[in-house]
Structure 1
Amino acid sequence: MNYARVIPFLLIVLFSCKNKPANSSAKAVSDSSKFYPLSEFIQEQMAYVDLRNFEIYQKHQTATKTDSSMISKEQFKQLAASFLTFDISKPDKKITYTETVFHDLSTASYTLNYKTSQTTDLVKNMDILLDEQTKMVKRVFIVSELQKADSSIMEHHSWTANKQFQITRTVETASGRSNETTTVYWIRK
């Protein structure tokens, strides 16, 4: 009599638990990661300066001399536009970069680091520091390198939000090395 109850129960359990085999076909997955949109930040900074009554200065240094001068908003925009070429957030560019994020307690920032895996990429490394409270950009650091037939050009670009940007260029040729630094900053009149 007990068998009469157990056998139907086992049959019900056996036939009601159907395992579906795993789907072995691979599905294409789109890259949904988002890199920080550098060009948007630079354009916002350019508009910030353009809409205010700032005096804009450029300081240019080489090994032998330093020049400082006031520049126009148009000259500022031309110099600042060089940062727009380093935006790696577009899908065709970001595929060769790896993003790492860490919380830097010493600077009260989240640092977004982008590093390339390809020697042919112009941008070798980029750090974007976001304020830990506001998540607004505080600083941007970009290292780029360009190889030409007879020279190597390494540039370090940095931008301090709402204050200044700097471009340091090192050119190495068979005849030697030269360095130049251009700093652009703005102050209220």
Structure 2
Amino acid sequence: MPRPIEFDRDEALRRAMGVFWRQGYHATSVKDLTAATHLQPGSLYGTFQNKRALFIAALDAYFSGIRERIQSCLHSDDPPLQRLRAFFDMLIEEMVCDPDNKGCLLVNTLLETPAEDTEINRRVSDMFAKVETEFARVLQEAQSRGDLDPNRDPQALARLLIAGIYGLRVYHKTRPDAPQLHEIIDNLFFALGGPTRH
């Protein structure tokens, strides 16, 4: 009879995700992962198979956290465009409060992963597509309320917001201050036709 796994898988995954997030997939060694998770290589591989499978599990866990934050922002009782703005304000708060300037694990992965690695690129693209769908739904709601120009394409505007996330995350690597980040979002929402911060 096999021995039960005597560690918290979710906690080990959270620790591994932190290493990948700070260092990137390729710069992270198995030694880094065993040190972070406090697991021996045998236990690590017995649970997650290999480094790549562990990284994919970390991506999935990271995206699960994003979806929870999306739900909290986009499914409130506020007007639709204010809910979208609240989501972007939350992103800025997270970035400003991140002393390691880690950025977004998904965006980091897209920037690091070679084009021929279709599995990981497709996985991350699918995650952003889910966010885009959420944005488009809220934008359609804004149109139905008369808060958004009915001639605008909600799906195209949702893609604009996704591009805004990409740009914001990469630009933050230059360490701008919070007012500069909010200015970027103000201009993004001005192009959208939605509320600015001031």
Which category of TM-score, normalised to the shorter sequence, fits these structures? under 0.3
TM-score, with structure 1 as normaliser: 0.24
Larger Rg: 1
Q: Normalised by the size of structure 2, how large is the TM-score?
A: 0.23
By percentage of residues, which structure has more helix? 2
Question: Is the strand fraction higher in 1 or 2?
Answer: 1
